[in-house]
Structure 1
């Protein structure tokens, strides 16, 4: 199959009146992950992503690899230091754990549904973190990342923070979060991961700087990312 011949499968939508939280909580039974999805930025521009489940070349396998934390050059390390001047970050590993995840899906039903522009689509996946890959989401393509690339980050955030895909439209992605950082020290580490996932010019534009962004992350139950 070539990229020219690929046609995304049709979307399935939830029944009227359905809520994202209730459908997310029911995922272990239904196998269908709900996502508010406007339907744009959909497709797999590169053939390798057509077979994202089976081709080891399709995406990075570890969080460190996706974030480029190994083998960084001097320039990228300086950029990291500059962006996080608001607080000393001793741990550059990108591995912060907050709580346990045994009841995350049940907790999602109590999180308020955040604003979104798209209808509630249902995606058949083995893991919620796979939904952007299965949709062929390409909203971050200008930054060199497709849905199949994002899944290793989304899986890690599900496990460590209870963060689940809620909506995607254009170059915007929103996650609902059951275990957000509770202190500024935790929020600084989470903000570093947000920075690596969605670089400075996009993620922190208009926030007033890194300091206010970090402060806002404390207890925040939804994370929003935007790629230009």
Structure 2
């Protein structure tokens, strides 16, 4: 089978601890977007999902640090019993709980602050602040622009979210994420659920991940103010470190949600 992979340098093969076969290749600096898109276009034929930033050996090695029962095809099958939209809604609800805190709502100042917080989780009110979308933002490539990858990993997977389950360790467990009582911590499986939900809703596809950074290529981003607001609330709930560069929820709705490339990081 003729594929771009055959024309890459540094071909490497390895297996995860559960026997998932991995292959990777290298390419010159600055070629990562072209290489990813070409391999993504071949995916329906090859069944191999490309993710930038890893070699097969290093990705496989990382799986040995994870529980064998929480990776591979069997774990992926178990995760399919969870509705990803319901898990996304739980993450949003939990982040709102944490944002509101446990202050006394009978205190007028606290009540005012809590009302502002609730407004940031209301798509209609966020859309009022952002207004109509005047132009499509360019998107953020926080990691791949600063540190262009020169390697691509290919994983036998039907979609990007499956890669995160088949090869855990590509992303870290985010211990600095805080939620309310309904879901106090962001679990590794939540990355799988969130990406699966965004694949369905917006065509957001795994592009690059490494450590505490994640980038997605988006084929159907929201392009009206209300759906962009809904998407931005989900993004900010999943990764409130977006505030470091983008700002508040309405800024995410303007500058990232309607773009065709999204970045997330947990510093």
Normalised by the size of structure 1, how large is the TM-score? 0.69
Tell me which residue corresponds to 2:191.
Answer: 150
Quote the Cα distance in structure 1 between the aligned partners of 2:95 and 2:38.
Answer: 45
Residue from 93, 112, 130 that aligns with 2:162: 130
Tell me which residue corresponds to 1:208.
Answer: 247
1:85 aligns with 2:119: yes
Quote the Cα distance in structure 1 between the aligned partners of 2:94 and 2:121.
Answer: 21
The within-5 A match list for 1:1-228 is: 6=17, 11-14=22-25, 16=27, 19-38=35-54, 42-43=62-63, 45-51=66-72, 53-54=74-75, 61-63=82-84, 64-65=86-87, 67-68=89-90, 75-76=97-98, 78=100, 82-83=116-117, 85-86=119-120, 88-89=122-123, 115=145, 116-137=148-169, 139-143=171-175, 144-146=186-188, 148-198=189-239, 200=240, 202-217=241-256, 219-228=258-267
Quote the Cα distance in structure 2 between the aligned partners of 1:22 and 1:151.
Answer: 24
Quote the Cα distance in structure 2 between the aligned partners of 1:10 and 1:55.
Answer: 16
Q: Is the 8 A contact 1:31 1:126 kept in 2?
A: yes
Q: Is the 8 A contact 1:13 1:120 kept in 2?
A: yes
| Deviation, structure 1 residue 29 | 0.7
* Count of residue pairs brought into register by the alignment: 201
Q: Is the 8 A contact 1:177 1:223 kept in 2?
A: yes
SS in 2 for 1:12: strand
SS in 1 for 2:119: coil
Q: Which has the larger radius of gyration?
A: 2
Q: 1:72 to 1:87 in 2, by over 3 A?
A: closer
Quote the Cα distance in structure 1 between the aligned partners of 2:223 and 2:233.
Answer: 15
**Structure 2 residue runs without a partner (length 5+):** 1-16, 102-113, 126-140, 176-185
Q: Over the residues paired in the alignment, what is the CA RMSD in angstroms?
A: 3.8
Q: Is the 8 A contact 2:71 2:166 kept in 1?
A: no
**Structure 1 residue runs without a partner (length 5+):** 1-5, 92-112
| Deviation, structure 1 residue 8 | 8.4
